Amino acid sequence: MPFRWPPLACFAAALLSSGVAAMPEQKAPPTPEQWHAMQMRAADKADRLMREADTRKSLLGRYEAMLAAASAGDANPAFQAIIGQYLAWYETFIGDYPNAAANFSIQELQQPDDRPSPLQSQAQPQPAVEAIAMLARDRQAVFFNEAHHLPLTRTLTVELLARLREEGFDTFAAETLYASDDELAARGYPVEGTGFYTQEPICAEMVRTALKLGYRVVAYEAETESGGDARESRQARNLYARVFKQHPQARLVLDAGYGHIQESGPYLGGRSMAEYFRTISGIDPLTVDQVVLIPHPDSAHDHPYYLPVMQKLAPDQPLVFMEKDGKPWSLRAGYDVSVFFPPPVLRRGRPTWLSLGGLRKPYAVRGEDMCREAYPCLVEARYADEGEDAIAADRLAFDPPPRYGKADDGLRPADGASAGELYLRPGKYRLLATDAQGHPLSRRNITVPQ
């Protein structure tokens, strides 16, 4: 499917809402005007390369094309930053989460108006699942943000959907869902034409879970405005028209990127979607920031508050802090509560947060069994009751070094391992292995036990 959404807006959102992307050092920093011109040239080139990659028939082929583009040696630091983000998206699509985190890293700088660390007050840590469900009880809307290249920041939302449904929430909306997929509710699962980020299995699981729980799923993306203030305003107007104008008593769970959910302060030369939404609807959403207090492959990119909290508490699940007066702690104005995510634990080269808080279990897969020595190879698990067009519940790419001769310099999923684990809910699945051209290599039916 052709790429339909201008990603530069998201790149700018990522940089402005946090710190700065890791970029090669330069001897003399460019002027703001020079940097803007470099970004525009880089964005045009990166978008062209992405469109070329998306002409490939297979997802693995598109990833290979993006990997080649990122490795081509363009010296423009703006291009390296943008193409690194684009490559990271495709790495999440094929289930290669460690490389995705490594290829695009936002340095979380402490801002002058950051609130004091919760360790400096009497705020108490609580499991984020429990605390957010409690905080949402008297709200009509809950807004979560995410880092698009780090699906760790989608996991808590998936875990909370059932709890929020029990509290009466009935509508779910997500950034870059396509309104053109008007068969989503009847079908019950996302396909390639459902959205952009829903190509990634955790994002697809978020939408699938909402559908199974009985949520109305709403696309609110701006269809003509490509970025900046115009996009924020249009998104807010779409939300109001498609949710609350038709269902005034609806209760909404929303997933969006970065600072789109901040409730106050300048954003992308104007105001954020959430601020526009408050003005239009009169609804004050619970805003949950999940993109700053997160682990990075290079700990030097972590926010200064992150490591002390991890060292003192050693959490094994996402945390929030609650003050004595019952109010949640947030790092910055514009958000109601901030989430600390623990460092990832890798098992067979994959992060165990893929279990979604215990909803899914690891299921061992061997490349030798599925790939028939045809590498690189993509193994996908689809729910047995969904069609061949369904976005997979999980994917695992295999590309081990050749048996004879020196391995190339390409990034290898799971460090080139030829065995790994898919993370799946208990139930029946169809496994399909394909090569980079999309040709099937093997099929298998499996059952994941309770």
* Statement: residue 20 has pLDDT above 80: no
* Statement: residue 313 has pLDDT above 50: yes
Q: pLDDT band at 416, cuts 50/70/90?
A: confident
Spatial contact of 243 and 218, defined as CB atoms under 8 Å apart = yes
What is the model's pLDDT at position 37? 87
Q: Which secondary-structure segment (H or E) carries 419?
A: strand 419-424
Torsion of CA 356, 361, 366, 372, to 10 degrees: -70
Topology classification of domain 348-448: Immunoglobulin-like (2.60.40)
Residue 191 pairs in a beta bridge with 390
What is the model's pLDDT at position 270? 93
The answer regarding whether domain 118-338 maps to CATH 3.40.50 reads yes
* Statement: residue 213 has pLDDT above 70: yes
What is the model's pLDDT at position 406? 56
* Statement: residue 396 has pLDDT above 60: yes
Lowest average pLDDT, out of 84-98, 318-332, 367-381, 391-405, goes to 391-405
Q: Measuring CA to CA, which residue among 441, 423, 422, 421 is closest to residue 432?
A: 441
What is the model's pLDDT at position 233? 95
Preceding omega of 362 cis (within 30 degrees of 0):
no
* Statement: residue 6 has pLDDT above 70: no
Side chain identity at 119, as an amino acid letter? L
What is the model's pLDDT at position 415? 77
Radius of gyration of the chain from Cα atoms?
21
Cα dist. 124→147, 185, 295 in Å? 26, 40, 21
> What average pLDDT does range 97-122 have in this prediction?
95
What span, in angstroms and rounded, lies between the C-alpha atoms of 166 and 333?
Answer: 29
What is the model's pLDDT at position 403? 64
What span, in angstroms and rounded, lies between the C-alpha atoms of 186 and 189?
Answer: 9
pLDDT digits (tens, 9 = 90+) for 148-204: 999 999 999 999 999 999 999 999 999 999 999 999 999 999 999 999 999 999 999
Side chain identity at 21, as an amino acid letter? A
* Statement: residue 3 has pLDDT above 80: no
* Statement: residue 19 has pLDDT above 70: no
Cα dist. 432→373, 378, 444 in Å? 15, 8, 7
Torsion of CA 198, 204, 206, 212, to 10 degrees: 130
* Statement: residue 227 has pLDDT above 90: no
What span, in angstroms and rounded, lies between the C-alpha atoms of 31 and 105?
Answer: 23
What is the model's pLDDT at position 409? 58
Tell me the two tokens of residue 160: 């909370």
> What average pLDDT does range 242-265 have in this prediction?
96
The full DSSP string for 120-181 is GSS-EEEEHHHHHHHHTTT-SEEEEEE-TT-THHHHHHHHHHHHHHHTT--EEEETTB-TT-
pLDDT digits (tens, 9 = 90+) for 347-392: 999 999 999 999 999 999 999 999 998 999 999 999 999 999 999 9
Q: pLDDT band at 33, cuts 50/70/90?
A: confident
The chain-wide mean pLDDT, for the chain, equals: 91
Spatial contact of 193 and 393, defined as CB atoms under 8 Å apart = no
Q: pLDDT band at 420, cuts 50/70/90?
A: very high
* Statement: residue 17 has pLDDT above 70: no
Counting residues of the chain whose pLDDT is more than 90, the rounded percentage is 80
Find tokens 């909370």 and name the residue: 160
Q: Is 219 left (phi over 0), alpha (psi -120 to 50) or beta?
A: beta
What is the model's pLDDT at position 102? 93
Side chain identity at 362, as an amino acid letter? P
Query: Which residues are CB-contacts of 199 (< 8 A; sequence separation ≥ 6)?
Result: 59, 93, 192, 391
Spatial contact of 231 and 240, defined as CB atoms under 8 Å apart = no
Give the sheet arrangement for strand 394-398, strand by strand: 394-398, 377-383, 427-435, 440-448
Cα dist. 401→72, 371, 408 in Å? 21, 14, 8
Spatial contact of 157 and 256, defined as CB atoms under 8 Å apart = no
Find tokens 């700065």 and name the residue: 20
What is the model's pLDDT at position 14? 55
Instruction: Give residue limits of the domains in the chain.
Output: 23-104, 118-338, 348-448
Sign of CA dihedral 167, 168, 170, 176: negative
Cα dist. 221→1, 171, 184, 430 in Å? 18, 15, 16, 32
Spatial contact of 240 and 196, defined as CB atoms under 8 Å apart = no
What span, in angstroms and rounded, lies between the C-alpha atoms of 43 and 39?
Answer: 6
> What average pLDDT does range 4-20 have in this prediction?
50
* Statement: residue 24 has pLDDT above 60: no
pLDDT digits (tens, 9 = 90+) for 61-90: 999 999 999 988 788 888 988 999 999 999
Q: How far is CA 316 from the centre of its chain?
A: 20
Q: pLDDT band at 402, cuts 50/70/90?
A: confident
Residue 174 pairs in a beta bridge with 219, 255
